[in-house]
Structure formats: C-alpha cells, structure tokens
C-alpha cells in the first residue's frame, strides 16, 4: 500500500507506508534526468492550517529572551505572555510562516533520521540538509492572523545533481505558496488560482518561499572517523564581510532547538539527538535548524529596519556551514553599495568567526 492523498500522482507510486524509498540507483550519468523527471512531476498534498496567532505567539515567547525588542509583541507580564486577539489581528511577522503549515504525515511516513518522505529522491541519498532559499513577502509580512483557513501548496520546481560518481549531491528546489482559502473551496480551484506556471507570478499567494534541500549519501565509517577526529580542530573558515551596520550576538540553547522542532513538527535527529548527530552524521554537536537560523536573521533584521522605517520584502540566502547549539552566532547586516538603496547584505558568522549564512535582503518603506 502506498502513501498519498487521492490524486497525488507519482508520489503515490514513490513512497511506501514503511517510509522507505526505492533502493535502485542508475549510473550517475542518468541521475539528473531520472530525478528531474520523477521529482518535478510529483504531486504533493496540500497543507492546510488555520491562521491562529498561537504559533506566532509561541515563537515570539521562545525568541524574546534572545531578541528583547520582541517584548511588545509578546505582551509580556508577570504571568507570562498574553495571546493576541483574533478580533484585532496583526499581520504574520516576516519569517513566522515557517512555524505554520507543518508536514502532515504519520510516524510511518518518517525516515529513520526523523525527516519526512515527501521530497526525498530515495536511497542511497538518505541524508538531508537545508541549503538555502528565497522568501518573498508582497505584504508587510504575511496574512492576517485572524483565524481564517489557509493553505500551503508545494511543488518541486527543479532538481540538480552535482558531484563525482559515488559522491553525488541531489539539490531539490521546492516552491511553497501560502494563501487564504474558503472553508469549502475545492483542491483544484485552490491550485488553479494560487499555483502559477512561473515562479515570478504571485497569483493569489501572500507568501512565496523557495527551499533548496540537498540530499546526500550516508557517510562511510572512514568518513565518520575523520569527522570525529576533526571535532576539536575545526574546518576551513570563510571570512565574512567587514564593517556591518548591524551586529547582533546570541547563543541558541537546546531548549530553543526543542521548541523550534516542536513548533515546526520537525523530528530530524540532527537537532534533537546528540549521539545521532555525532555518530551517524559526523557533526560535533546538535545543529541549529536551517529555518531557525533564517528565522533569527529575519527577526533581528526586522527589528533593526523598523527603527529606520523600512520592512523586508524579499530575502535570498545560502547556508554555507553548520551552526551548532550553545555556540555563539553573530547576525550581521549592512546596506549594499550601489544605486539600489533598498538592498542589504546579510550574513551570520559562527563562533569561530567563519561565514555560515549569506544572503541579500530587499526592503521598502513602511
């Protein structure tokens, strides 16, 4: 028996209820063509949610200790935070869409590392990492948090295979479109008005996100041994840009990683299980989620830009190196040089000073 909602096409044939993907892999010369055909035609299920202020509120409560400027948004008092009213709704803050529309899959549809099966190319590419992406906000943030029903439509736009034979990396580009919907609106009507042939056409979407995931082979015992031997040595450091206008330091702890995993319905073991992260994936500690680092960057920058009378409209970014739990990160930004005064260069430096995230933000006036 195969997983998928009715009408999920190739996904129905691809993913089994056991959470295992196909084992056969053709020679690398045909991998790109094969995966592009199979993944870009995969019809992913719609993800519904209600635009309650609760997830956004819980995210603010989790971040306010790191970003004190969020205090007014959390309505903090002696008894804690007060949930905002639906009767006088505010817009979803930039980046808060990441804690809405969680993957609606069963435990049997999770792979051994805790990731879901929806976007996987299949064995032997069992390791998943968040490589980067782009998010566009036509409004000043997102939809109103007024309790309405909403949808996230996902589609795989492109697939690229990079690397030598036996060392291939599968880059999967996923587009996600967020829009409000009617209670009785049909799936086909929703798809026709929200999903568009061109990435640049918003249709009725209120947020468009591009996620670039990379799928890798499992590490060999020799690779893991080398990784563990280098835990204390560190790796190659890429120097970040200089002279930031904004420089903000914070140190995410295990409680924040747990809360973010819970808010996003994310069971990926590299964020929750230290022994797994070290012994299976070869990392020295738990990894900060790719979307969490994006959330932190957007939150810190949003607070800074608000003082300047500006808002975030678009961010494009790449994750270059891991960020680890309980290690200091520095979120930085500065206006880009040139004629376009709306663009900002943004980056995150790790505890060793090396560049881990880099991107470009486009802004507009409030």
pLDDT (tens digit per residue) in 165-210: 889 999 999 999 999 999 999 999 999 999 999 999 999 999 999 9
| 226-240, 285-299, 346-360: the lowest-pLDDT one | 226-240
Q: Look at the block and give the residue holding tokens 């995931």.
A: 213
pLDDT of residue 8: 39
Alpha-carbon dihedral sign for residues 254, 258, 264, 265: positive
Distance (Å, rounded) from C-alpha 187 to C-alpha 329?
42
- Of all residues in the chain, the percent with pLDDT exceeding 90 is 80
Please, are residues 152 and 181 in contact by the beta-carbon 8 Å criterion? no
Specify the pTM. 0.90
Q: What is the pLDDT of residue 338?
A: 83
Between residues 20 and 337, the one the model is more confident about: 337
Condensed to tens digits (0 to 9), the pLDDT of residues 275-308 reads 999 999 999 999 999 999 999 999 999 999 999 9
CA–CA gap between residue 69 and residue 304 (Å, rounded): 9
Q: How confident is the model at residue 78 (pLDDT cuts 50, 70, 90)?
A: low
Confidence of residue 14 (pLDDT cuts 50, 70, 90): very low
Q: What is the mean pLDDT of residues 87-107?
A: 96
pLDDT of residue 363: 97
CA angle 336, 337, 341 (to 5 degrees): 65
Contacts of 250 (CB under 8 A, 6+ apart): 66, 67, 296, 328, 329, 331
3-state secondary structure of 272: coil
Over range 225-247, report the average pLDDT.
Answer: 88
184, burial (CB in 10 Å: exposed 0-12, middle 13-18, buried 19+): exposed
Which pLDDT score, from 0 to 100, does residue 19 have?
A: 43
* In the predicted structure, residue 22 carries a pLDDT above the cut 60: no
Dihedral, CA atoms, 271, 178, 107, 147, nearest 10 degrees? 100
Give the C-alpha separation, 347 to 109, whole Å: 35
User: What mean pLDDT do residues 25-29 have?
Assistant: 49
In this predicted structure, the answer to whether residue 271 has a pLDDT above a threshold of 90 is yes
| Cα–Cα distance, 99 to 263 (Å, whole number) | 6
pLDDT for 20: 44
> b/e for 279-303, b at 16 or more Cβ within 10 A?
ebbbbbbbbbbbbbbbbbbbbbbbb
Specify the DSSP element, H or E, that contains 264.
Answer: helix 254-264
Domains of the chain: 28-70+84-365 (3.10.129.10)
């Amino acid at each position: 028996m195969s997983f998928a909602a009715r009408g999920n096409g190739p996904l129905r044939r691809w993913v089994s209820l056991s959470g295992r993907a196909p084992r056969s892999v053709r020679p690398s010369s045909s991998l790109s063509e094969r995966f592009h055909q199979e993944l870009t035609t995969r019809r992913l299920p719609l993800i519904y949610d209600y635009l309650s202020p609760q997830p956004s509120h819980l995210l603010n409560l989790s971040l306010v200790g790191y970003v004190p400027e969020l205090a007014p948004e959390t309505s903090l008092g002696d008894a804690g935070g007060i949930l905002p009213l639906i009767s006088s709704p505010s817009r979803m803050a930039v980046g808060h869409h990441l804690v809405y529309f969680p993957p609606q899959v069963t435990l049997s549809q999770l792979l051994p590392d805790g990731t879901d099966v929806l976007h996987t190319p299949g064995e032997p590419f069992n390791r998943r990492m968040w490589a980067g992406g782009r998010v566009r906000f036509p409004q000043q943030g997102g939809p109103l948090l007024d309790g309405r029903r909403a949808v996230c439509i996902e589609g795989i736009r492109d697939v690229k295979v990079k690397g030598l034979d036996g060392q291939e990396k599968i880059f999967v580009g996923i587009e996600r479109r967020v829009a409000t919907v009617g209670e009785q609106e049909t799936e086909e009507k929703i798809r026709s008005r929200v999903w568009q042939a061109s990435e640049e056409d918003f249709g009725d979407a209120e947020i468009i996100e591009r996620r670039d995931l990379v799928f890798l082979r499992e590490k060999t015992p020799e690779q893991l041994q080398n990784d563990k031997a280098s835990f204390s040595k560190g790796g190659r450091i890429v120097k970040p840009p200089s002279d930031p206008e904004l420089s903000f330091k914070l140190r995410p702890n295990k409680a924040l990683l747990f809360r973010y995993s819970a808010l996003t319905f994310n069971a990926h073991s590299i964020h929750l299980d230290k022994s797994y992260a070290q012994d299976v994936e070869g990392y020295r500690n738990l990894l900060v989620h790719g979307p969490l680092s994006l959330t932190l960057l957007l939150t810190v920058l949003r607070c800074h830009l608000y003082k300047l009378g500006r808002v975030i409209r678009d961010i494009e970014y790449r994750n270059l190196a891991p960020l680890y739990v309980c290690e200091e990160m520095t979120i930085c930004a500065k206006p880009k040089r040139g004629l376009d005064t709306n663009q900002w260069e943004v980056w995150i430096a790790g505890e060793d000073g090396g560049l881990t995230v880099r991107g470009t933000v486009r802004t507009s006036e409030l």
